[in-house]
Structure 1
Amino acid sequence: MYFPVTYSTLSDNALTEYLIKKYEITDIIKTTYYLRGMNDTYLVTASEQKYIFRVYRGDWRKNYSEVGFEIDLLQYLSEQGISVSLPIPDAEGELIQVIRAPEGNRFGVLFTFAEGSEKAIDDNEISNIFGRAVADIHLKGDNFQSNYLRPDINLDYLIKQSLLTIESAMQHRKEDFKILENAANQLEKIIEEQHGLDWGICHGDLHGNTNVSFKDDLSMTHYDFDLCGYGWRAYDIAEFRLAREIRLGHDNEKLEEIWNAFMKGYKSIRPLSDNDLRVIPVFVGIRQLWLMGLCLKDPHINGSIDYDDDFIDEKLIYFKNLKVLQEGISNR
């Protein structure tokens, strides 16, 4: 009998044998553990090309339907002319594998390799191009439908579930939790008071790093739609803004230049209402709250040492100084 396991790391060598057998790709040279995140990413190197094999966390993607939804979206976007990393069927035509791991079943998908390289989205040209690409996903995703189900990216998902996790982690700081809860309730109330916000398919993680690969001509291939779902487009865009704020918070002029270039590119492809534009700062705060909940809920990625009281203090300072709660959105 083995000790219970929460999160296992599958053997590179065993996966090589597994992939050769399942996909009949006989020229695989090696499989290398590539990236740990919300799922495990393996780089599969064959004699003439590369692939990506993703193994979903058993405690993150528990249902076949959640993975099926993502696969459907990738295939749909590809049919609409958007370059995405696509799932590859095995020898029997199956796109999703069920792997028996020590902690239980985990899902696995083999993807085409996104050629190119990651680039810092830190100048006006590439920000504008990325903004157009994001708008293209939203525009062409408007008619997407799937028979598979995945939770909506709504206020229950973003705020209520996050607060439950945060409260559990802050039992020793109940008064401080009330401060965070009050900030979250204010953000929620602002969104609830809005009408007609753009709702549709979202990528869910549009920070522009480790999910898009650029070629020399700045054409790109999108990948890692693990956080996709139906949600507010202003929320989807807000993650790009938040990532730039984290990176360029010390240089507000540069931040605004890149943001304006991104939005100019976006709006050249599809419009956003004034209402949607006004709530982006609100969704920036909501995204930060969701990320806080995610970190406190899932210490197995980096270890809980990174999410101690110093981490909580940092978030408290952020929400105490959040401008949209101090100034509102009426003049935005």
Structure 2
Amino acid sequence: MLAVAYSTLSEKAISDYIAENYHIKPIEVNYLIRGINDTYVVKDDHSKYVFRVYRSDWRSHEDEVAFELELLIYLKNQGIPVSYPIAKIDGHHINTLYVPEGKRFGVLFSYADGEETPIDNENISLLFGKAVAELHQKTTNFTSNKQRSELNLEFLIDHPLEVIQKAMVHRSEDFTFIEEVAIKLKNRIQELEPKGLDWGICHGDLHGNQNISFCNDLTYTHYDFDICGYGWRAYDIAEFRLARQYHTNGDKELLERLWSAFLEGYTSIRELSQNDLAAIPVFVWIRELWLMGLCFQLRHIDGGIDTGDDFIDEKIDIFKKVQL
């Protein structure tokens, strides 16, 4: 018997499991997407749901999942529209699933009605800014005793560098360049932090084109809090800025209009200090570094075809543009 790094649960297995453990009788289960985790859409006679199966090497401790679920229940109770966990017959939310690679955790979530909507105009960018600010505002008093990685410099820079170094042993000089950039980014945040950077609950993946569903009337639902945790709010916001840089395809005027609208929406709900604003461009680069590490971290699942030397060359070119 050979070792397994990653297994995919069958739709029938998920359907049977849900029927046995929930007050739900699935009539259809469809495997939707493989990302950091596996996502299935579940339908019964009345509603749709999402069943997420966390990867065993990504969320290996139940506390990590429990923190996310506690946050979602808290947000729901605070009136924030989120995709929230559905309790099992026994009242618990987390399933321990035994698979060839060991065990994986599974959670059933409410379905986020609507659809992913491109944030390509100022109106929806302003609305998204308000939605992010409300998310940050409503989590001010959230607490949990569950263990969860903070979105700190160890998580955002040190760990990704370790992963990147292992993937670039054949390009040691180029890795040294990336490491030097990372040190500059780290030092810049350490310079800004004593002046005060807003710290609190972050979604962790607020790029805007995903992880929020909009209905036709522009009501919305946040979803996928898998990377949530305590961190710098400027980092949480920086992901939106980075995503706009990619999605505006070099149209700098559009980028700045969307960014201004987002900030207008955000600051209409809660304040952003000048120090936080100064940190956002730094966190944009840090997010790029973290994503590079994540891509390498997923190679044993997704294969290495998209993270070869062309990928490294592209990232080197990006980091050559860093200005602090």
2:40 is the alignment partner of 1:38: no
What is residue 198 of structure 1 aligned with on the other side? 198
Q: Which aligned pairs between 1:1-332 and structure 2 lie closer than 5 A? A: 2-26=1-25, 28-194=26-192, 195=194, 196-322=196-322, 325=323, 328=324
Letter of the 1:94 counterpart: H
- CA–CA separation in structure 2 for the residues paired with 1:78 and 1:24: 21
Contact preservation (8 Å) 1:131, 1:265 = yes
Q: Which amino acid aligns with 2:8?
A: T
**Native 8 Å contact 1:239 1:287 kept in 2:** yes
In 2, Cα distance between equivalents of 1:150 and 1:127:
30
Aligned residues: 322
Deviation at 1:233, TM superposition (A): 0.3
Confirm or deny: 8 A CA contact 2:72 2:82 kept in the other structure: yes
- Whether the aligned pair in 1 keeps the contact of 2:6 and 2:301 (CA below 8 Å) is no
CA deviations 1:278-330 (Å, max 9, x no partner) are: 110000000000000010111145321000000000010001112xx2xx3xx
Q: Could you tell which deviates more after superposition, 294-303 or 4-13?
A: 294-303
Q: Secondary structure at the match of 2:302?
A: coil
Report the RMSD for the aligned CA atoms in angstroms.
0.9
Q: Secondary structure at the match of 1:307?
A: coil
Gaps of 5+ in 2: none
CA–CA distance in structure 2, aligned partners of residues 117 and 74 of structure 1: 20
* Pairwise CA distance, 1:96: 0.4
- Distance in 2, matches of 1:10 and 1:209, equals 28
Segment of structure 1 superposing worse, 64-73 or 203-212: 203-212
User: Are 2:5 and 2:301, in contact at CA under 8 Å, matched by a contact in 1?
Assistant: no
Render the CA deviation track for 1:74-114: whole Å, top value 9, x for unaligned: 01111111000110011111100000011011000001111
3-state SS in 1 of match to 2:156: helix
Asked whether the 8 Å contact 2:163–2:293 carries over to 1, the reply is yes
Structure 1 residue 248 displacement after superposition: 1.3
Contact 1:132–1:262 (Cα < 8 Å) also in 2: yes
User: Is contact 1:38-1:301 (8 Å) kept?
Assistant: no
Q: In the alignment, is the contact (CA less than 8 A) between 2:64 and 2:147 conserved in 1?
A: yes
Q: In the alignment, is the contact (CA less than 8 A) between 2:201 and 2:229 conserved in 1? A: yes
Any gaps of 5 or more consecutive residues in structure 1? none
- TM-score scaled by structure 1? 0.95
Letter of the 1:48 counterpart: H
* Deviation of the 1:45 alpha carbon: 1.2
What is the deviation of 1:14? Answer: 1.2
- Are the counterparts in 2 of residues 85 and 113 from structure 1 also a CA contact under 8 Å? yes
Runs (4+) of structure 1 moved beyond 3 Å?
none
Residues 186-240 of structure 1 show CA distances to partners (whole Å, capped at 9, x for unaligned) of 0000000112100000000001133111111111100100000000000000000
Instruction: Find the residue that maps to 1:158 and give its secondary structure.
Output: helix
1:147-202 deviations in Å (ceiling 9; x for gaps): 21101000011001111111111111101111100000000000001121000000
Q: Are the equivalent residues in 2 in contact too, given 1:36–1:301 (CA < 8 A)?
A: no
Partner secondary structure for residue 83 of structure 2: coil
Deviation at 1:11, TM superposition (A): 0.6
